[in-house]
Structure 1
Amino acid sequence: MAYEDLIKSIESTAEEKKLEVIQSAEREVEAIIREAETESSAIHAQYLKKAERDLILESNRQKFLARQEVKTEINAVRLKLIDDAFALAKDSISSIRSDSSYPALFEQLAQEVITALVGEEIVLHIDPADSVICMNVIKKLGADCEVMQDITTSGGLSGSSEDGKIRADNTLECRLEKIRSLSTLEITSLILGDPDG
């Protein structure tokens, strides 16, 4: 019987050992599950924070793009208004020859060209429509100039040295373009507000 007691003792010890191993494994499994849940919560919180940051960044990017689009549209409207204003001005100068003040204006423009080319053999370039006014102005100013009726303009004239190296353009179209290039930003700011909105 001692043999049977020994076997029962071994079986009993094995059963206790088995229970201990199972309980230990269950505790380890529970610890692993708790740790995994804790890690999962931390990872979930990290992903939520990252998603929130990404949403804020995307929202800011979309707002920036929308503001830029609005600014671009406003600037396009501003430039269209300026284009329209200068087109209207160009149309209005096309009939300036019929204005009674045109001879005085032509004289002033001719004087500026002659002054700019002082010391040169001056060639005045005019529209044929201004030939009579130009001859009267040259006589009045006592200027020694060659006159060529070789340009088409709404008014005014241009001049050059005889060799063509020095030019002075004083046509109304040229003056209008100079005004436009020098004052577009100023016009935009004064009349329409700051270009940046």
Structure 2
Amino acid sequence: MAYEDLIKSIESAAGEKKLEVLRNAEREVEAVLREAETESSAIHAQYMEKAKRDLALESNRQKFLARQDVKRKISLVRQKLIDDAFSGSLHSLSAIRSDPVYSSLFAGFVREVTDALVGEDIVLHVDPRDSALCNEIITKTGLNCIIVKDLTTIGGLCGTSADGKIKADNTLESRLSKIRNQDTLEIISLILGGPDG
């Protein structure tokens, strides 16, 4: 009987040890699960934070691209308005020869060209439609110039030194081109109310 009691006692101690091992294992499993849950939450929070940053960066990138696209479209519209304005100006000026003021305007153009080429033997390049007017102005002013009818222009003239090294372009087209190149911002302001539209 003592043997049976010893076996029962060993079995009882083994059962208690087994329960203690199971309880410890459950506690360890719970601790591991809590730790895993905490780490999982931290990892999830990190991924969420990264996703938020990535989303903010992408949102800013898309906004930047959209603003650039709008600026490009505004620039294209602005450029078209300027092109149309200058094209309209050229069209309007194409009939200037029939305006009574053209002869005095042309005389001013001749004076500017000859002043720019003072001291040179001057060659005036004119549109054939302006040759008679140019002859009349040269005769009246007593200038000594050669007139060559080799220019096609809506108005005005060009002058060169006899050797061709110095040139003074005083056509209406060149004047409009200078205005366009020098005063684009002012033109934009007049058309659109400012450089940014």
Q: Please, what TM-score do these two structures have when normalized by structure 2?
A: 0.92
Alpha-carbon separation, structure 2, partners of 1:65 and 1:111: 53
Deviation by residue 1:64-118 (Cα, 9 ceiling, x = unmatched): 2222222222221121111111101101111111111111111100100000001
Alignment of 1:81-100 (within 5 A): 81-100=81-100
**1:167 is aligned to 2:167:** yes
Superposed, 1:142-153 pairs within 5 Å as: 142-153=142-153
Offset of residue 4 of structure 1? 4.1
- CA drift of 1:20 comes to 1.6
1:23-172 alignment, distance < 5 Å: 23-172=23-172
Query: Which range moves more in the overlay, 157-166 or 33-42?
Result: 33-42
Aligned-pair Cα RMSD in Å: 1.7
Aligned residues: 197
Structure 1: how far apart are the matches of 2:191 and 2:130?
Answer: 36
- 1:48 match: secondary structure: helix
CA distance in 2, matches of 1:67, 1:189: 21
3-state DSSP class of the match of 1:124? strand
| Whole-Å separation in 2 of the counterparts to 1:85 and 1:155 | 18
Any idea what the Cα deviations from partners look like across 1:133-156, whole Å, max 9, x if unmatched?
010111122111111111111111
Q: Please state whether the residue corresponding to 2:183 is helix, strand or coil.
A: helix
Q: Which runs of 4+ in 1 moved over 6 A?
A: none
CA distance in 2, matches of 1:99, 1:3: 140
Q: Which runs of 5+ in 1 are unaligned?
A: none
In structure 2, distance between residues paired with 1:196 and 1:103: 41
* Aligned amino acid, residue 195 of structure 2: P
Query: For 2:157, what is the secondary structure of its paired residue?
Result: strand
- Equivalent-residue separation in structure 2 for 1:83 and 1:130 (angstroms): 27
> 2:112 is matched by which residue type in structure 1?
E
8 A Cα contact 1:75 1:195, kept in partner = no
Instruction: Quote the sequence identity (%).
Output: 68
Q: Hey, what does 2:9 align to over in structure 1?
A: 9
